Amino acid sequence: MSRLDLPATAREPYLALVQVAQTISEGPLDRILWQLVKLRASQLNGCVYCIDMHAHEARELGEDDDRLFQLTAWRESGLFTAAERAALDYTDTATRLGANGVTDAVWDEVTAHFEPAETGHLVMAVALINAFDRIGDPLRLTPARR
């Protein structure tokens, strides 16, 4: 059971985050790529609720199981396109935000593969999933049994 019912206790800010997610879903970022980015950030953050949700959402959109299985080792996998690899590299870097932050090399690779609007939506998507992971983990959200 969750530690707190956030939609009930912080309804307006929670709904604002949900609205941001809806806006991103209507934007130019590829839907499957968006799911991969969300799933990857959630793997790094250890949010089981989000991992479960985004893996299932990706499958519902037609994502291949092998790519989902190999997402944790995407750098070693040959199943991801150059654009997907750039987005995943950005996701890893922006999620972990070490001392050097997102380097110029990582940024340049993203902007080489995505138009400015796509890049902007990618930045927002990664920021948003990290926010949701930082809600799901502390509140101990658990996935529904399937």
pLDDT tens digit sequence for 99-122: 889 999 999 999 999 999 999 999
Cα separation, 16 vs 75, whole angstroms: 34
Instruction: Print the domain residue range for 120.
Output: 11-136
4 falls within a domain:
no
Split into its structural domains, the chain has a count of 1
Domain-located, residue 71: yes
Stronger pLDDT, 61 or 146, i.e. the higher one: 61
21 falls within a domain: yes
Domain assignment present for 3: no
Predicted confidence band at 143 (pLDDT cuts at 50, 70, 90)? Answer: confident
What's the CATH number where 68 sits?
1.20.1290.10
- pLDDT score recorded for residue 146: 57
Q: Is residue 99 part of a domain?
A: yes
The answer to whether position 89 is within a domain reads yes
Residue 73 banded pLDDT, cuts 50, 70, 90: very high
What's the predicted TM-score (pTM) here? 0.93
| Cα 3–chain centre separation | 23
* Percent of the chain scoring above 70 in pLDDT: 99
CB of 44 closer than 8 Å to CB of 16: no
Residue 5 lies in a domain: no
Q: Does a structural domain hold residue 6?
A: no
